[in-house]
Chains A and B, each alone.
Chain A
Amino acid sequence: MQMFASLRRAPEGTNSSLVRFQNVGLRYGLGPEVLRDVSFRLKPGSFQFLTGPSGAGKTSLLKIIYLALQPTRGMITLFGQDLSTIPRKQLPPLRRRIGVVFQDYRLVDDLTAGDNVALPLRITGAKKQDIETKVAELLDWVGLGDQIMTRPPTMSEGEKQRVAIARAVIAQPSLLVADEPTGNIDADQSVRILRLFEQLNKVGTTVVIATHDQHLLTQFKHPVLRLEDGALAVQQPPLPLGPGDGR
């Protein structure tokens, strides 16, 4: 499909970790730790579920991954870079390599679906013609090709989520993070959304999805990271360091 021409990416390197957490802890203010000694690795091109009960720390973990929060302890390597040593000014370029799908979509109501999807490309200063082409392609891919001019308040929850996904992937991110992307939509739409994520994964995007939907976990058999009370209940087995780790 032509869509894949837009989204296909160069492989990151199969032996290195795209994301590496090592004894990461997070505390809000003086309260108890919401994340405790979290350690895991995400290989490039992997597809990972993140699950756990409400309040387990899934959203906090994802926020750290997409650089909206800083951990209070531990080490994180992202795209081969130690986050503790990166100056704040260099974070935006890293963020542009991460696509985020929020549970509440976070679409701009005053903008059309097309303008919402175009936001990440506008920020990078892409040419207007390129933006128009890619936006049309992606909205077509998510099944909303005829709704470029529609505004979010008039859309269904499923449609909004698909616009949010299109926005998250238009800049061809290396890593796609989704926080409960099926939380507000029905089962059929949920399956459709997950299939979109799988298509993205097939072209090389690393995908992490936080969900507590057991049906999806059962239906889509991908590795699962389970958080309970801020700690990983099932830790990944330690893997040998790849050539890209700790660069």
Chain B
Amino acid sequence: MWRRRSEAPFWREKSERFIPLIIALMVFFAALALATTMALDGASRQWLQGAAGTLTVQIPAPPSAVTKDEETARIDSVLSILKAIPTVESARVLPRREIAALLERWLGEGNVSDRLPLPAVIDVKIEAGKKVDMPDVRQRLAAIVSGTSIDHHEQWLNQRVRLAQTVQFIGLAVVFMIGIAAIAIIVFATRAGLAVHREIVEVLHVIGARDSDIARQFQEHALWLGLRGGAFGLALALVTFFLLAQLAVGLEGPFWTHLTLGPFSWVALGLLPVATAVITTLTARVTVLLALRDVV
């Protein structure tokens, strides 16, 4: 017989059935933007971490046939210079099979024959926080083996990290704008509700309801709308993530393998419906209180 104290069935307008759907779509897009932002943030850190303090030295294949000892001596001369640099922690010559494996990603498996002249590649690690005088090292190496090149990964990755950070900023801006749009929708819906139910609000007012009592009717309804819409939108987003993960199976390369979401990211996404409900609730409450301020 008795309804819950907080229930106000007279606030249910047929037009409101679209509001959870709109909220669901907003949460869906916000989840996509947020997940992209968080994934890129994690990936950027890992790229920088992995690339920080590393160099790759390529010694070109000799122009004419040399003996294995001569080849080894060429490489060792470069290696000795690198190891003599005080800030170099380690220098490792990559075995041919590792180089071949890297090339097979581009050339196809089995297309890198043993007779294919490959450069010698030395993976150099620099001590944390230390630097190397790149022009000096380049000059010294070039004097020993002409054509030797040095790749400073950090420099290369910085550009990509800046791009990733720009995308993150855009993602956060999208989430922010979605939040603003959600607030606008709830303000509009609440004011419409107040107008439609003006007489009932007046009755509650007349029988002694405080503004906060009336606002509670609307905010509880908005809370329910926000939770429903938020949960549905998140569920939709999770299905999308799962599908994307399935499509990405088998993709290799640091770019793809580092695009993951950690535990904190999943928690943040899981809180989206809660955040949505808080936003819709507070917005409805403030809207009603401001509107009632003009009433005697």
Contact = CB atoms under 8 A, between A and B. Distances in A.
A70 B202 CA distance: 15
B187 to A, nearest CB: 23
Interface string B168-200: 000000000000000000000000000000011
Contact of B296 (A91, A102, A108, A123): A91
A9 interface: no
Interface string B1-18: 111010001101000000
Interface in A67-84: 67-70
B249 interface: no
The bracket for how many chain B residues form the interface is: 20 to 34
B2 A95 contact: no
Nearest to B208: A96
A69 B5 contact: no
A132 B2 contact: yes
B76 interface: no
B205 interface: yes
Given A110-B9, A132-B2, A68 B204 contact: no
A66 B10 contact: no
Contact of A92 (B5, B202, B208): B208
Contact of B208 (A93, A102, A110): A93
Interface in A131-182: 131-132, 148-149, 167, 171
B203 interface: yes
B2 A106 contact: no
A69 B213 CA distance: 20
Contacts, number: 67
Nearest to B203: A106
B193 to A, nearest CB: 14
Interface in B109-137: none
Interface stretch (A114-122, A191-199, A215-223, A225-233): A114-122
A115 B7 CA distance: 11
Contacts of B205: 68, 95
A114 B5 CA distance: 13
Contact of B213 (A106, A123, A167, A171): A123
Contacts of B3: 111, 115
Contacts of A95: 205-208
Contacts of B203: 102, 106, 108, 119
B214 to A, nearest CB: 10
A150 B217 CA distance: 23
Given A106-B199, A108-B10, A123-B213, A66 B2 contact: no
A111 B200 CA distance: 12
Contacts of B83: none
Contact of B202 (A68, A88, A122, A128): A68
A112 B209 CA distance: 19
B92 interface: no
Contacts of B209: 92, 123
Interface of B: 1-3, 5, 9-10, 12, 199-200, 202-210, 213, 296
12 contacts: A66-B206, A69-B296, A92-B208, A92-B210, A95-B207, A96-B207, A106-B200, A108-B200, A119-B203, A119-B207, A120-B207, A148-B1
Given A68-B205, A106-B202, A128-B2, 13 more contacts: A68-B202, A92-B208, A94-B208, A100-B206, A102-B203, A111-B9, A115-B2, A119-B203, A120-B207, A122-B5, A123-B204, A123-B207, A123-B213
Interface of A: 66-70, 88-89, 91-96, 100, 102, 106, 108-112, 114-115, 118-120, 122-124, 128, 131-132, 148-149, 167, 171
